[in-house]
Structure 1
Amino acid sequence: MRLSIWPGTAQPYSDILDVARHAAATGWDGVWAADHFMPNQPDGSSFMLEAGSLVAALGALVPRVSIGTLVYGNTYRHPAVLANMAVTADHISGGRFVLGVGAGWQVNEHRQYGIDLPPVKQLLDRFEEALQVLHGLLRTPATTFQGTYYQLTDAVCEPKPVQDPLPIMIGAKGEKRMLRMVAKYADQWNTWGLPDVIAHKSKVLDDHCAAEGRDPQQIRRTAQALISVDTPLPDGLRAPAFGGSPAAVAATIDEYRQAGLDELIVPDLLLGTGPERLKSMDKILSLVRA
């Protein structure tokens, strides 16, 4: 099972770079960046670094590991613009970029910037069109597409990615439409969740793959949860999390393996800062590789 780190973007770039370089030097497999412009809070007052610029910088300065977005919100950029951004990041990294995309959801970002956040059905219809545009631009010589939300005529995206194909990862938890889109369009799937959730949703994804006539083994399964080793979990966490003794953490990691997870992604929120965070990363790595 692959192991990746997800440094939060509400911290100085130098700290993010330290985490990413430590991951590359010690045997982690990937580094991810979230696509948000502010925290999910009413005032959205803290800073956050922009994902596209960040992954390009990491791709240039951090060797070996994959670099990806977790995940680009579709409402923030036209998919043709995003395709060109992805190709550039892939070339900068030497073919290590993963294009993570999602439908978009965070209300305060849309409200403050005046970006339209449509009702759910329209949001998902628009996202599915965007996936078709991305496939066309990244994987065919030219794309003509006449949809409700996007129209392209003999559109090109050159150069093509270093990777053939550049992997597209869809962040999805909705079992009816979003996981069906994963089955149709994705090379990788991502969601938040503990092992029981991953096992359940992975079975739903398998069923969608069968309906689409696609081999489910073609889709890599990735997931994230907060982790704390040797310390109790804080009260009031709203995200999936596990922790405790090294043995307890190792047992949960094994449950992810049994659920068929291909990549465990670790947010750095509970790992501390500075040298403490790097030591926490080393502990988690030792448990996954044991």
Structure 2
Amino acid sequence: MRISIWPGAGQPWADILAAARHAEQTGWDGVWIADHFMPNDGPGRDPHQPTLEAGSLVAALGAVTERVRIGTLVYGNTYRHPAVLANMAATVDRITGGRFTLGVGAGWQINEHEQYGIELPAVKQRLDRFVEALRVLHGLLRDPVTTLDGEYYRLTDAISEPKPVQDPLPIMIGGGGEKRMLGVVAEYADLWNTWGLPELIAHKSAVLDRFCAERGRDPKSIARTAQALTVVDGPLPEGLPVPVIGGSPEKLADAFAEYRAVGLDELIIPDGFLGAGAEKLKAMDTILELVNR
């Protein structure tokens, strides 16, 4: 099971860079950056916290690292035109020498759409649009010329050059909806990502397998990735809308073993509960040691 770090974009560039460089030097597998322009509304969040932009961060991190994979977790389709995004992704893959993973999703965070005046359609329309966007991305990143006369996107003999170093550049889809989204994953993704504890990941992974069988696709061709907030040693926060693992090194080691047992290919660790400065780097070392037991 691969292990990757997710530095929050609401911290200074110097701290993001320090975490990425430490990951590079100590044996972590990847660095992921979320695509948001501000914190999500919610208890305990500062709605005015400065947030760095994801596309610029992955390009910068790609230029200052040599080994770890770099990826987006995940670009929001509602505010990233897929033709523009394809060119961005190919450029970052060139910068990294073929280490970039393009993570994309349908878009969801209400407050950033409201503040920037960007439409956030109803779920069905959002997913319809996302599927068209995936067709655009597949075409521009993998074919010489792309033409698409869709409801949301129209491309005419469109090119995107140069192509990525990777052939094909891997596309990760974030989402866990069992009615439709996992079917989209089965059709278009090279990697799948969602939040979840091992039991939930096992359940949704089985649903994804069924969608793959319906489409005649080998389920092993889609890597499974997940994340959970991580506490190395201390009380677990309560009342959060996302899963939390750990509390002690022993409990964290057990969680890693459970993820591995359900077939997870990559676990992504947000750095929000790992402390700051030297404390964070020490926590990263402990996590890596526990994963490699």
Deviation per CA, 1:224-278: give whole Å up to 9, x if none. Answer: 0011112111233221001122121111111101111000000001100000000
Aligned with residue 219 of structure 2, among 216, 219, 233: 216
State the partner residue of 2:83. Answer: 80
Letter in 2 for 1:229: V
What is the Cα-based RMSD across aligned positions, in Å?
Answer: 0.9
State the partner residue of 1:286. Answer: 289
Q: Note if 1:201 corresponds to 2:204.
A: yes
State the partner residue of 2:275. Answer: 272
Q: Note if 1:240 corresponds to 2:212.
A: no
Aligned with residue 170 of structure 2, among 146, 167, 186: 167
Q: TM-score, normalized by length of structure 1?
A: 0.99
Q: What secondary structure sits across from 2:217 in the alignment?
A: coil
Deviation per CA, 1:39-84: give whole Å up to 9, x if none. Answer: 0027831111000000000000022000000000001121000000
Task: Give the distance between the partners of 1:56 and 1:175, measured in 2 at CA.
Answer: 33
Task: Give the distance between the partners of 1:177 and 1:235, measured in 2 at CA.
Answer: 31
Task: Give the distance between the partners of 1:151 and 1:240, measured in 2 at CA.
Answer: 39
Q: Is the 8 A contact 1:44 1:108 kept in 2?
A: no
Aligned with residue 254 of structure 2, among 245, 251, 256: 251
Alignment length (residue pairs): 290
Q: What secondary structure sits across from 2:36 in the alignment?
A: coil
Task: Give the distance between the partners of 1:66 and 1:247, measured in 2 at CA.
Answer: 28
State the partner residue of 2:49. Answer: 46
State the partner residue of 1:9. Answer: 9
Letter in 1 for 2:247: G
State the partner residue of 1:58. Answer: 61
Task: Give the distance between the partners of 2:92 and 2:291, measured in 1 at CA.
Answer: 29
Letter in 2 for 1:5: I
Aligned with residue 234 of structure 2, among 203, 215, 231: 231
State the partner residue of 2:21. Answer: 21
Task: Give the distance between the partners of 1:71 and 1:232, measured in 2 at CA.
Answer: 29
Task: Give the distance between the partners of 2:147 and 2:64, measured in 1 at CA.
Answer: 36
- Following superposition, the deviation at residue 183 of structure 1 comes to 0.3
Letter in 1 for 2:19: V
Letter in 1 for 2:275: G
State the partner residue of 1:147. Answer: 150
Q: Note if 1:93 corresponds to 2:91.
A: no
Superposition pairs of residues 68-147 of structure 1, within 5 angstroms: 68-147=71-150
Task: Give the distance between the partners of 2:195 and 2:103, measured in 1 at CA.
Answer: 14
Q: Note if 1:32 corresponds to 2:32.
A: yes
Q: Is the 8 A contact 1:228 1:270 kept in 2?
A: yes
Note the residue ranges of structure 1 that are not aligned, 5 or more in a row.
none
- Point out 4+ residue stretches in structure 1 off by more than 6 angstroms: none
Q: Is the 8 A contact 1:5 1:268 kept in 2?
A: yes
Q: Note if 1:181 corresponds to 2:184.
A: yes
Letter in 1 for 2:289: S
Q: What secondary structure sits across from 1:115 in the alignment?
A: coil
